[in-house]
Structure 1
Amino acid sequence: MSSPAPFSRYEFMIAWRYLRARRAEGGVSVMTWISLIGIALGVMALIATLAVRAGFRAEFVDTILGANAHTTVYMAPQRVENEFTDDVYVVPGRIQDYDAMAAKLAELPGVERTTPIVRGQVMATANDSSNVAEIFGVSLDALKAMPRIVDPQTSQGSVEDFDKGVAIGAGIQRELNLNIGDKIKLIAPEGAKTPVGTTPRVKSYEVVYVFSAGRYDIDRTRIYMPLAEAQDYFNRENVADEIEVFVTDPEKVDDWTLPLLEAAGDGAQVWNWRDASGSFLSALDMEDDVMFVILSVLVLIASMNITSGLIMLVKNKGGDIGILRTMGLTEGAVLRVFFLCGAFTGIIGTIAGVILGVLLALNVDGIMAALNALTNGGAWQPEVRGIYRLPAELRAWDIFRAIGLSLALSFIVTIFPARRAARMNPVEALRYE
């Protein structure tokens, strides 16, 4: 007569019966519930944390790519010698024939569009308040191509009126108490040149559009101005400071560095969004790995409760083990019965943890909003975090590795007490029964 196959139906039946401890064996039942709840909470915390970290990174990158160029081409600074004093000073590089260069860069494979811009620092004042701002001189078409800037749900005014004034960030609007149609005064140190030197340039513009890019630092400092007006305001007649380049795959923006340098010619330099934010994104990736390791330890601690519960179960079921062995159960069958006891706990706890973790991740934005309301904005500070909300992004890979980790740890910690039960001597187990 052949032996039953491993993990036969009766092994599952015995394991499930042992898990449902009677009142007299309440300690075993309590330990089982503690193990189950601990694993569920550990998996929930792991999934929710990974989702929040992925959502934070995705939101941060989206705010970068939605309001900034993927990569920027500019000319290197030039050293100029004063023929009268022999002094050498450095002047910023300017792009002379910027339309031709922008058209040449746009012909490269994978480049979606290019935009010449003029940039400069100013002091913005209105209503007895002031703020430091950065001017971006762009065309109307370039402004309309930025998804984070022209979002109708977060903007005010009409972007079509851009040529009649300036577009300001929501942070500047808030700090200077401005509305659509109000005047904002801009003061630039690079003004008109006179025999006694350069005087600051002061000019007022109408606020025709207010945007929110989703980033606190952008909304608080950025002003968009028509390109021709910016050239006149900053004394950049017929030149541009940079050419912004947008590519088909921003995640692989480094692949366009060499082609852009070759197309731009001598003296050109490239600065992409990864150069600007790469260190921060690398820190986020490292923090993701550290958080996974720390939360994995929590899941391991919760899984260790399975070992305690199974040791108590083996002790309480010593007589049953002896009887089962005398009835013909092999050591392997006994081992599998108690392995299944621990595996059931791990599987049920993991399933519960996945459900709770997914629910928490899906509602984390609302939960943070409620906490922020209760703490008067102390739970989430945009000026510290950079973005206005705490997003979450559930990724299948994160859920799968949380499930795999929990099940693997649950199965591993079950082996020791299961082997102890399998090696129990039937005679010794029945001696005091």
Structure 2
Amino acid sequence: MSSRTAPFSAFEWMIAWRYLRARRAEGGVSVMTWISVIGIALAVFALIATMAVRAGFRAEFVSTLLGANAHVTVYSSGQVDESGRMQRGFTDYAEIAGRIADVPGVIRAAPLIRGQVMATANGVNAGVEVHGTSAADLAGLPSVVDGADDIGDLSRFEEGIAIGSGISRDLNLAVGDRIRLISPDGVKTAFGTSPRVNAYEVVYVFTTGSPEIDRTRVYLPFAEAQSFFNREGRADEIEVMVDDPENVERFEMPLLQAGGPTAMIWSWRDGAGSFLRALTVEDNMMFILMSILVLIAAMNIISGLVMLVKNKGRDIGILRTMGLTEGSILRIFFLCGAVTGIIGTLVGIVLGCAFSIWFTPIFDFVNWAAGGGVWDPEVRPIYHLSAVLHWQDVAAAAGLALTLSFIVTIFPARRAARMNPVEALRYE
């Protein structure tokens, strides 16, 4: 009759559940069960929370990169002019920008002048990177024009200059003040090249979300930048935005064809690829390290089951003499450990998801309790830390916890199944 018993029958579940609800006389077993549940729950919670924070950091970093920087930069390898000098950039930049804008998936193609100069104001100097662009193209940068902390009037951009909030703070500048830009490559005279010094009114102060950009980036009107950097009739490069920057590789060949025979490209992944790869390696290592916590928590299940098997030796002997097979005994104690792992995993998932969803207010409270300064944007490339919950991370954490819980449960369950009923009842 026992041979016809289906695995995990109702009576096996009933016996396992009674063993998990240990009576007061067997309080040690129930305490170990609770310790196992809490250990698994905390380990799964820590794993999900860690992966969510790591994903949030990666998302914030990529968003910062894509917000104010070109997804793809199209530039020229150069060509020799009539005097035999190598000229870089595009003379037909408007035509090339138009062809690039017609490439499917391209949402913005803007000619750009780029140069590094010294900025000075109020007796303070700072090195800055100048981007020369038109007012219409500048308005196409969401992180520059849509910042909550932006001040000034962007409609007056052609009358002055737009600077980052970090430059404004370092040079003690406000909207309406004047800033001087000094370039060593200025006016060419018979005695050599003299530095060029121009003063501009600050008409707009932007905050992109990247401390590095906000402390180094200024925008000049395109025509003024051409004159300042001696680029009359040319553009240094074409700044391109696409609708799918995560898969920017698929735009490379169409952009090269649209850019012409001398065109070359540089994508945001080329600039940040090493950092992104480092983040991926750190994510994998973090998952492995946090998995060790799950393994340690799962080992508590073994302790609880070993105590349970020892305390239930008499019951095992009686059940065996009643006709239960080794398989039934194994499944009963396997269920005891598996249910513990399942409950702990479910509790950990709930805690981890709740922590990730409400991470911002929790982090703000911790920052307030610590007196501020928990996250320093001067050290890291983003202003704010966030958490992004991916179902793949939740599934990986749950799968790992359940797998380890089931595996470690097998060993004490097999010990119980192989217990000799005669030896178990000899001294009863």
Which of 247, 254, 261 aligns to 1:266? It is: 261
Report matched runs for 1:80-159 at 5 Å: 93-159=88-154
Dislocated runs of 4+, deviation >6 Å: 79-83
Contact 2:210 2:383 in 1 (8 A): yes
| Secondary structure of 1:184's aligned partner | strand
Matched, 1:230 2:231: no
Distance 1:150 1:250 in 2: 20
Contact kept in structure 2, 1:368 and 1:380, CA below 8 Å: no
Supply the AA of the counterpart residue of 1:278: G
Cα distance in 2 for residues equivalent to 1:235 and 1:220:
25
Q: Which runs of 5+ in 2 are unaligned?
A: none
Q: Give the match for residue 52 of structure 1.
A: 53
- Report the number of matched residues: 427
* Mapped pair 1:415 → 2:420: no
Q: More deviation in 139-148 or 365-374?
A: 365-374
Counterpart in 1 of 2:280? 285
Does the residue aligned with 2:73 lie in a helix, a strand or coil?
strand
> What is the TM-score with the length of structure 2 in the denominator?
0.95
Task: Give, in whole Å, the separation in 2 of the partners of 1:372 and 1:103.
Answer: 48
Displacement of 1:374 in angstroms is 4.6
CA distance in 1 between counterparts of 2:378 and 2:304 reads 48
Closer, same or farther: CA 391–265 of 1 in aligned 2, 3 Å: same
CA distance in 1, matches of 2:33, 2:412: 14
Q: Partner residue of 2:427?
A: 432
Answering whether residue 306 of structure 2 is matched by residue 305 of structure 1, we say no
Query: What is the TM-score of this pair, normalised by structure 1?
Result: 0.94
Structure 1 unaligned runs (5+)? 84-89
- Structure 1 residues 376 and 235 mapped into 2: Cα distance closer, same or farther (>3 Å)? farther
Q: Do 1:350 and 1:406's aligned partners in 2 also have CA atoms closer than 8 Å? A: yes
In the other structure, the counterpart of 1:33 is 34
Residue by residue over 1:289-309, the C-alpha shift from the partner in whole angstroms, topping out at 9 and shown as x without a partner, is 111111111101110110111
Residue 266 of structure 2 aligns to a residue whose secondary structure is strand
Specify the code of the residue in structure 2 equivalent to 1:428.
E
Contact 2:113–2:236, Cα closer than 8 Å, also in 1: yes
Deviates more, 1:340-349 or 1:176-185: 176-185
SS of the equivalent of 2:201 reads strand
Where does residue 75 of structure 2 map in the other structure? 74
- Retained in 2: the 8 A contact 1:364–1:390? no
Give the aligned partner of residue 22 of structure 2: 21
Q: 1:328: how far off?
A: 2.1
Aligned to 2:363: 368
Letter in 2 for 1:64: L
Q: Alignment RMSD, CA only? A: 1.9
Single out whichever of 137-146 and 253-262 deviates more from structure 2: 253-262
CA contact (8 A) 2:182 2:198 kept: yes
| CA positional deviation for 1:173 | 1.2
Pairing of 1:322-337 with structure 2 (within 5 A): 322-337=317-332
Cα distance per residue 1:112-135 (max 9 Å; x no partner): 221000011111112222211101
- Percentage of identical aligned residues: 61
| Alignment correspondent of 1:379 | 374
- Which stretch shifts more, 325-334 or 338-347? 325-334
Q: Is the 8 A contact 1:365 1:389 kept in 2?
A: no
SS in structure 1 at match of 2:132: strand
Q: In 1, are the aligned partners of 2:73 and 2:265 still within 8 Å (CA)?
A: yes
1:226-281 deviations in Å (ceiling 9; x for gaps): 11111111111111000011222112211222222222223221101110111111
Q: Would you say the 8 A contact 2:108–2:140 is kept in 1?
A: no
1:200 match: 195
The one-character-per-residue Cα deviations of 1:175-209 (angstroms, maximum 9, x if unpaired) are 11221111111111121122211111111111111
Contact 2:147 / 2:207 at 8 angstroms: preserved in 1? no
CA distance in structure 2 between the aligned counterparts of 1:34 and 1:215, rounded to whole angstroms: 44
